[in-house]
Amino acid sequence: MPSARPIWKGQLRLSLVSIPVEMFTATKSGAKPSFRQIHEPTGKPIHYEKVVDGVGPVEQDDIRKGFEYEKGDYVLLTDDEIDAVKLETRKTLELVQFVDEDEIPALYYDTPYFLVPADELAEEAFRVVRDALRKSKKVGLGQLALRGKEYLVAIKPCGKGLLLETLHYEDELKKADSFFSEIPAKSTDNDLLDVATALIEKKTDKFDVNAFKDHYQAALRELIQRKLKSKGKKVTEIEEPSRSPRGDNVVDLMAALKKSLEGGGSTAASPKAPAKKASAKAPPRKKAS
């Protein structure tokens, strides 16, 4: 079993089968540089105090959670009272429904966790559920109470274990219509579409996360190192000239796409679109207003 401490222990239930499992975070919090707010004249970190208007700083033991039922009026609850709320999903994660892998829109996914059997006795049943999900290409859905909230979760195979991902509820998501409503409902030019599709196919390859690096975090770490070497002196970054096109330039979309398609540097397979479509005449350019 992992040396890390599980954030949840309980039963994974499928009908009458209950499997003791443990859940672990799947992401690392220390992978990026973190900053603290510092008082520049003294070089000391800033601390925050919890204060009450007209009272000042208060003790942690005097703080309660409060629900505002009317403006300025609160129902106060202790941690023990909240912990006493009886929810079966606090200790049991029941798979109540199964859906196809691609049926859940990406917008709903939130945070990933690893799910593993809690002991050797649980391993056989765990493997059966994992392999059944993999064979059927299904995702299991259930609910889990964790950290004061009941989450909707999806479970799918992940290597030798299971991946649990929390999902947003419907009322937690904004409707896309208000953001996309001003995009005209026009048909795409077929010649442009063919060339753009060919460019996508040319750059298509198997997913390899190691091919992508967090350049911003690397630049931050490099800045921190230069700052240390400068012994506290101000370090300024030399700005590179912008390569973005000027706003008053008219971009010939077909020419730009064809030039991109002809360019090298891709490890993916060559485009499969017919050559005669890729070399179609560009539509006449509009004059800049």
Describe the crossing of helices 190-202 and 253-262 by its angle, rounded to 10 degrees. Answer: 30
- Hey, which residues does 70 pair with through a beta bridge? 73
**What is the separation, in whole angstroms, between the first and last Cα of the chain?**
67
CATH number of 8-28+85-172: 2.40.290.10
Please answer whether residues 79 and 67 qualify as being in contact, where contact means their C-beta atoms are separated by less than 8 angstroms. no
Q: Would you write out the chain's pLDDT as a tens digit for each of its 289 residues?
A: 567 889 999 999 998 899 999 999 998 876 677 888 888 888 899 988 899 989 988 988 888 889 898 998 999 888 788 777 767 778 899 999 999 989 999 999 999 999 999 999 999 999 999 999 999 999 999 999 888 789 999 999 999 999 999 999 999 999 988 898 888 888 988 988 888 888 888 888 888 878 878 777 778 888 888 878 887 666 565 566 555 554 444 468 888 888 888 875 444 444 444 444 444 444 454 444 4
Q: Where in the chain are all domains bearing CATH 2.40.290.10?
A: 8-28+85-172
- DSSP alpha helices (H): ranges in 84-214? 120-136, 177-180, 190-202
